Amino acid sequence: MSQSIINVENITKSVISNDNELSILKGISFNINEGESVAIMGTSGAGKSTMMSLLAGLDLPSSGSISLLGSIISDMDDEQRAKMRSESIGFVFQNFLLIPSLNALQNVTLPMLLRGNEDQEDNERKAKKLLAEVGLSGRETHLPTQLSGGEQQRVALARAFVTQPKVLFADEPTGNLDQKTAKTIVELLFAMNKEQGTTLVLVTHDPELAKRCQRTLIMNAGQCQESA
């Protein structure tokens, strides 16, 4: 039996909007084990992104508890959660979110810098290796504006994996890409996931992508179900 890495127990999330309490998540529980790949699907507005930001500790649930890597995230303060993210969590976003003033290589070394890895030479060596893996060797000094969308997302992948995170969250990583490019990104994502044994949580509208995952959670109107 492999170890639980994310455990969600009866969480709810509601927000106040225009003086009304809006309930987005309505009592959700599930468990994700180490090394699993999980897809979260559902209609637009179902609460997928909200769910993911809670799992990653970017926000806190209104009630219930989430344990991530053995710690209850509600018990940690902002700085502690940031520290945990820098040490064990990676992200890939729909809109890539590279730093425009840094070149590809520097964007990839950034997470190591945030972690406190001071050895820049070592950082750059690791980053170069990752960039080569995503097929971007020779493009290290290019700025994000000089790269296509697919290439930017590849840099983002390299950035996410360079710290060998325990969990990788991806919110519609292929949402902004054409089909062909999306496919290569998915291939890369799973290849690296396999190589590093990373736990993968990804939100997607793409059933093809969901099929590649071991499990699929379907969200609907603030509820969550395991798909068959």
Partner 1 sequence: MKTNKMIISWSWREIWSGQLWPVMVALTLIIACVVALSTLALRVEKVMTNQGRDLLAADLVLRSSNPIPELLVEKAQDAGLTISSQSRFQTMAFSDEKLQLVTVKSVESSYPLRGSLTLRDANQSAKNQVKAGELWLSPRLFSILESKVGDIIAIGDAELPITGVIEEEPELAYNPFNSIPNVFIHSSDLDKTGAIQIGSRVRYRLFINGDPTSLAAFQESYELQPGESWVDQNRESRAVRLMDKAKQYLSLTILMVILMAAVTLILTCLHYVRNRSETVSMLKSMGSSRAWLRTWLTTQVLIMFISAFVVGSTLGLLLEYLLRVPLADILPQELPNVGVQPFLFALGVALCIGLPALLIPLTRLLDAPAINVIQKQSVTYSKTSWWLLLLPFTALVVFYGGNKLVWMVLIGLLVLFVVLAGLSYGFLQLLSKLKWGAAFSLALSRISRSPKNSMMQLAALSGSLMLVALIWLVKSDLLGDWQQTLAPDAPNVFSINISPEQQQNYLQELDKSGLPHSDAFAIIRGRITKIKGQETNELAAYQDPEVRILKREVNFTWMDQLPIYNEVVAGDWTGEKTVSVEQEVAEELGLQIGDTMTFEVNSQPFTATVNSLRAVEWQSLKPNFVFIFSKDAVANLPSTWMVSFRAEEDQTPLVNELARAYPTVTLLDLRTMATKVQSLLRQISWSLTGLAALGVVAGILLIFTLLRLSLSERKREITLYRTLGASKKRISHTLWAEYGLLALSGGFVAAIAAEVILSALMIWGFELSPQWHPSMFIVLPVLAMIVVFVSLRSVIKSLMKPLR
**CB-side exposure of 209: number of CA atoms within 13 Å?**
28
Restricted to residues 30-49, the positions that interact with Mg ion (CB under 5 A) are 49
Q: At a CB cut-off of 8 Å and minimum separation 6, what does 90 contact?
A: 111, 159, 160, 161, 163, 165, 167, 168, 169, 198
Alpha carbons 107 and 140: distance in angstroms, whole number? 9
Residues engaged in binding ligand ATP (CB under 6 A): 15, 17, 22, 24, 42, 44-50
Residue type, 126: K
* Residue 126 is a binding residue for partner 1 (CB under 8 A): no
158, 133 contact by CB (below 8 A): yes
We find the least distance from the C-beta atom of residue 175 to ligand ATP, in angstroms, to be 9
Alpha carbons 18 and 135: distance in angstroms, whole number? 48
User: In the stretch 134-173, what mask flags binding to partner 1 with x, by CB under 8 A?
Assistant: ---------------x---------------------x--
Phi/psi of residue 8, nearest 5 degrees = -115, 125
Binding partner selected for residue 2 from partner 1, ligand ATP, Mg ion, none, CB under the kind-specific 5 to 8 Å limit: none
Binding partner selected for residue 47 from partner 1, ligand ATP, Mg ion, none, CB under the kind-specific 5 to 8 Å limit: ligand ATP
From the list 123, 103, 105, the residue with the least C-alpha distance to 115 is 123
- When the beta carbons of 46 and 202 are compared against ligand ATP, the nearer one is 46
Stretch of 62-70, 109-117, 127-135, 219-227 contacting partner 1, by CB under 8 A: 109-117
Question: What does the binding site for Mg ion look like in residue numbers (CB under 5 A)?
Answer: 49
Question: What does the binding site for partner 1 look like in residue numbers (CB under 8 A)?
Answer: 49-50, 52-53, 56, 58-59, 78-79, 82-87, 89, 91, 93, 97, 99-102, 106, 109-111, 113-115, 118-121, 149, 171
